Structure 1
């Protein structure tokens, strides 16, 4: 009997035996070597099967990660569209409201949050049954009282910020107000860094500077409507109110992100709808109280009658204003939920730069060189921020691929 060692493709040596015709095939030695050969063959098949299972599992895992990332980016795109579209439409309809002869500030403020009932169908829609049980249990651990406290706190925060901005507009020239208002993005970067652990890179800082300049470029315009004589007291009140409003606005976004991280830990988008609904409800009730206390409610019929486009146009203006700003609210909160408070504020500042384009198309406004400059700075800042996310994705893919490569080498 002759023994031979053959090296397989995987480097495993298989011992084969060739029997001399003169030897008997039922000898004990022959049976032992046949058994050894069968064992080696089984080991080879097992190693092949384990390799195929590991490869198929890795492919399925990578495919699932890519699919989830694609869905996440699609959701971010939808929320971005809601934010930019709602902001542009709401701003244009607000201009039309005053240009057609209406004057009530409380009605205009009320219309910005009165669209919350449109979210009721989304709140009544049941959550999927196959949702992760662990996330559901964590979500239920947050008591109703805690969640209600968050809604009330953020709603009152929004009311206070709106009132501060209203005082700022009343006491400051438009150019000065716009310059201070543009600082909210820098405040958001600061609050996000301390409260949400936001990573700061040179590219993100470049994006913040560009977007802040894009929203503040209005200071170089010739504001004929600004009054030349403003007392120091008025300037101080306006400056303090607008600065506090900008800081409060930044805190509101960062606290919203913190609430998603600590309280609303569910991975569903229903929590976004709930937050937008309850905050809108609270702000609407507060604005309604202000409307009745200020006696502007008694002038509503007169305002509808004197609206140049007619009563129906007046009602439709308020309805679509409510829808537009509700889309903006859902989009901005959704961006905080899916991305970050800083990213949401980046999109909002970009909307301030893109707004003049809609004004030029729908209201026949002139597109000045400064508006073009503002738009270019805004797009540049947004591109910088998006590029940072692209680099983060590449880094995440590299870190995910490295462990799998090392595991394959070890095998």
Structure 2
């Protein structure tokens, strides 16, 4: 299920970028918020149906009572997790709006090991092989992306002689040749 979720999420950002490109109206902040709202409503509906089918709503009260920090803090954690996730998704969609889905994916990939490193310091977890591999792969992807961007930007820089020649009138070019 985790791999399927990762694969599906891998399609979300490029599809949002495609939606922006195919839109027949100017992409504005309001439209970005509208797309985010629709995506979240569909996701909420999908999850709600799944929870209804599995009778998961009945378990929430039991989980809250068994939560180590108390029932009230359980609901606070659930609510703040929902709010933080909405901010995260809005930020990811915002990066797609301002740059590209590739950059958004790279930023997300870099943030995953950052959370693992923060967990090591905050919760005194061990820095195991999986976390080291995750950190190394994420940093490798991040560096590769920016290295590729730098190489592409160097290719796109116009040659000053060609630029100067193209700015001259055509009859000047003929007489100088």
Q: Smaller-chain TM-score range?
A: 0.7 to 0.9
Q: Distance in 1 between matches of 2:11 and 2:146?
A: 23
Residues 178-257 of structure 1: matches in 2 within 5 Å? 181=3, 242=4, 245-257=5-17
* Alpha carbons 1:335, 1:341 under 8 Å: kept: yes
Q: 1:367 aligns with which of 127, 132, 136?
A: 127
* Alpha carbons 2:20, 2:27 under 8 Å: kept: no
Other-structure match for 2:82 = 322
After superposition, the Cα gap between the structure-2 partners of 1:296 and 1:368, relative to the gap in structure 1 and judged at 3 Å, is closer
After superposition, the Cα gap between the structure-2 partners of 1:328 and 1:403, relative to the gap in structure 1 and judged at 3 Å, is farther
Q: Which runs of 5+ in 1 are unaligned?
A: 1-164, 170-180, 182-241
Q: Distance in 1 between matches of 2:6 and 2:61?
A: 35
After superposition, the Cα gap between the structure-2 partners of 1:291 and 1:402, relative to the gap in structure 1 and judged at 3 Å, is farther
After superposition, the Cα gap between the structure-2 partners of 1:303 and 1:371, relative to the gap in structure 1 and judged at 3 Å, is closer
Residue 405 of structure 1 pairs with residue 164 of structure 2 = yes
* Alpha carbons 1:264, 1:271 under 8 Å: kept: no
Q: Distance in 1 between matches of 2:137 and 2:52?
A: 42
Residue 297 of structure 1 pairs with residue 62 of structure 2 = no
Cα offset, 1:256, TM superposition: 1.8
Structure showing greater Rg: 1
* Alpha carbons 1:353, 1:371 under 8 Å: kept: yes
Cα offset, 1:297, TM superposition: 1.9
Residue 337 of structure 1 pairs with residue 97 of structure 2 = yes
How many residue pairs match? The answer is 170
Write the deviation string for residues 57-91 of structure 1: whole angstroms up to 9, x where unpaired.
xxxxxxxxxxxxxxxxxxxxxxxxxxxxxxxxxxx
Q: Distance in 1 between matches of 2:75 and 2:93?
A: 27
Residue 309 of structure 1 pairs with residue 90 of structure 2 = no
Q: Which runs of 5+ in 2 are unaligned?
A: 173-177
* Alpha carbons 1:257, 1:337 under 8 Å: kept: yes
Residues 83-232 of structure 1: matches in 2 within 5 Å? 165=1, 181=3
TM-score w.r.t. length of structure 1: 0.37
Write the deviation string for residues 23-47 of structure 1: whole angstroms up to 9, x where unpaired.
xxxxxxxxxxxxxxxxxxxxxxxxx
Other-structure match for 1:263 = 23
Cα offset, 1:314, TM superposition: 0.8
Q: Distance in 1 between matches of 2:167 and 2:22?
A: 38
Structure of greater relative contact order (alpha carbons < 8 Å, 6+ residues apart): 1
Q: Which has the higher helix share?
A: 2
After superposition, the Cα gap between the structure-2 partners of 1:315 and 1:356, relative to the gap in structure 1 and judged at 3 Å, is same
After superposition, the Cα gap between the structure-2 partners of 1:368 and 1:248, relative to the gap in structure 1 and judged at 3 Å, is closer
Write the deviation string for residues 99-147 of structure 1: whole angstroms up to 9, x where unpaired.
xxxxxxxxxxxxxxxxxxxxxxxxxxxxxxxxxxxxxxxxxxxxxxxxx
SS at match of 1:399: coil
Runs of 4 or more above 4 Å deviation? 400-404, 407-411
Write the deviation string for residues 274-306 of structure 1: whole angstroms up to 9, x where unpaired.
211111112112322333332222333332222
Cα offset, 1:365, TM superposition: 0.9
* Alpha carbons 2:95, 2:101 under 8 Å: kept: yes
Cα offset, 1:401, TM superposition: 5.9
TM-score w.r.t. length of structure 2: 0.77
Cα offset, 1:246, TM superposition: 4.9
